[in-house]
Amino acid sequence: MKSIKSSKWAQHMKAYVWAYIGLFSVCLLTVNLLAAASFSIQPRVWGSLIVQIIICLLIADRVRFLLKSKQQYAVQMKEMTYMAYHDSLTGLPNRRLFEDRLERALLQAKRREQLVAVMLLDLDRFKGVNDTLGHACGDQLIRLAGQRLLSCLRGADTVFRQGGDEFTILLEYMAKPEDVRVVAARIQEELEEPFILDGTLVSVTASMGIALYPMDGDTPEQLMQHADEAMYAAKERGQNHFKFYASDIDAMVTGKAYLEKELRLALLHEHFELRYQPQYELASGRLKGVEAVLCWSKGDREPKYGLDWRKIADETGLAIPIGYWMLRTACMQVKSWQTAGYPPLRLTVGITSVQFEDPLLVEEFEAILKDTGMAAGRVEIDLTESISSSSVKEAGEKLRQLKALGVRIAMDDLCIGLFTRSGLEGMPMDSVKLDSTLVRDLPDDDENQALAAAIIRMAHRLGLNLIAKGVQTNAQLEHLQHLQCTEVQGELFSAPLHPTDFLSLMEENVTQSTT
């Protein structure tokens, strides 16, 4: 520690020695001037003072020169450091800086258990631009492409010009491969916009290969190599494509992107359809309500890759507009049956967690009920897996707002348990559900029997309606009758029906009730 302090002191004295000498000279000159003022001034004294003034001026000039040289040296060192870590053409980081950031990103990702993506990008048709417009325009295209790439990324991400028309991109702190796909698609869209080179419109695209840590490698060398291999595989697909190195991840991400596109088209062209499943009062057998079930009428555009389109709708946020379309369509349909003279039915509509978290949920419900003329008391929302323990208090406030509109609320035992554990036993609710997973093994599973009995007793004690879903066998039905369940629905009674088939079902019920 002592040697470190002495070394710092020596460096300090070396840097500021002329400043200290100048300060000492000024002090000495001041003392002499004060002394001269106290005595009669002789020519010899004047000569001494003039010499000291000249010496002080020379020292001051030397100090100024040294300080200016030090500033110039600092600027030059800064420029040299920048040039050592950046590309001279684009100003983007070079290989040395990129590899340093990549190593650091991998260490942080390992500690935080996050994804890191390395993307290798090659501009399609760049050689044609160089050959036809010249190297100056080619260099301009490289600079403009680098700027566009930066505009697509976050501050923590890095773009490195590998050479020629190739760029390498480092994406840190990624949660899932789909997030990387979003960035790749954004880059494609940005580069598809024409460039203006020397007054000429030029269109280029990009082929990209993507390698992910830790799936595709855990070292910089492995990730760079695999991203390069994926990029050449993307080129084999044609221009303007990107590909993940791992085939399973590539298939999953490609499938999700395809389904997202198809879902948007389906919403735009109203390719969704609703089916209606009847709900019966168990004691009387009377048709009591109907649940709207969303179906995707795909026609010739069959979804590929075997993915759950409902899950993709949740992940992409499309579940929100789809859910409102479903509510509006179902309200219009049930209201039309009521206007036609059929007995009014309670309409049950399921709400996903994504839709429930929409801040405009209450306003949208109010607007749809007003537009369709559907009575709020005839609409029941089914909170299937819509409430988590982290948001139960916020959910409670939203449910109170919905209840203020007059809408009925149905919950399963898990939702009720969440509210109870959070001290919100007084939450507004109208119905309790026995889910199909609970009903399925009801006759043979002692635990399910005990749980179903407890839920039914709770519903009776609270004065709530109780509906069992997914009833498929007579054995299940008999057990529910024994437990004094209120309402049932399921394949045993009817599958979800097309509106015309459901209308026929209502006509049969009207005929039976009049005979």
pLDDT of residue 67: 66
Mean pLDDT of 399-409: 90
User: How far, in whole angstroms, is CA 267 from its chain's centroid?
Assistant: 21
Burial of 376 (0-12, 13-18, 19+ CB in 10 A): middle
The answer to whether the beta carbons of residues 406 and 414 sit under 8 Å apart is no
DSSP string, 380-414: EEE-TT---GGGHHHHHHHHHHHHHHT-EEEEEHH
Over the stretch 130-184, which tens digit does the pLDDT of each residue have?
888 888 888 888 889 999 998 999 888 989 888 788 899 999 988 888 899 989 9
How do 287-296 and 195-197 pair as beta strands?
A: unpaired
Mean pLDDT of 180-189: 91
Kindly report whether the peptide bond that precedes residue 214 is cis, defined as omega within 30 degrees of 0: yes
Query: What distance in Å separates the CA atoms of residue 145 and residue 123, rounded to the nearest whole number?
Result: 9
Query: What distance in Å separates the CA atoms of residue 245 and residue 371, rounded to the nearest whole number?
Result: 50
The answer to whether the beta carbons of residues 208 and 180 sit under 8 Å apart is no
- Give the list of residues 6+ apart from residue 334 with CB closer than 8 angstroms, or none: 290, 345, 347, 374, 378
Residue among 210, 222, 219 at smallest CA distance from 119: 210
DSSP string, 275-293: EEEEEEETTT--EEEEEEE
How do 166-174 and 158-163 pair as beta strands?
A: antiparallel
Which range is least confidently modeled, 45-59, 283-297, 368-382, 444-458? 45-59
HSE at residue 40, side-chain half, CA atoms within 13 A, is: 1
Pair of tokens at residue 49: 């003072």
More confident residue, 276 or 396: 276
Which range is least confidently modeled, 81-95, 227-241, 298-312? 298-312
Residue 61 pLDDT more than 80? no
pLDDT of residue 389: 47
The answer to whether the beta carbons of residues 294 and 352 sit under 8 Å apart is no
Backbone dihedral angles phi then psi of residue 387, each to the nearest 5 degrees: -120, 130
Angle at 27 between CA 22 and CA 29, to 5 degrees: 95
- Give the list of residues 6+ apart from residue 124 with CB closer than 8 angstroms, or none: 204, 205, 206, 207, 239, 240
DSSP string, 66-99: HHHHHHHHHHHHHHHHHHHHB-TTT--B-HHHHH
Pair of tokens at residue 241: 């494509």
DSSP string, 457-484: HHHHHHT-EEEE----SHHHHHHHHHTT
How do 408-412 and 431-434 pair as beta strands?
A: parallel
Pair of tokens at residue 121: 């990008």
pLDDT of residue 462: 77
Which range is least confidently modeled, 243-257, 393-407, 462-476? 243-257
Whole-prediction pTM: 0.65
Which range is least confidently modeled, 32-36, 339-343, 362-366? 32-36
Pair of tokens at residue 223: 């990730």
Mean pLDDT of 183-189: 91
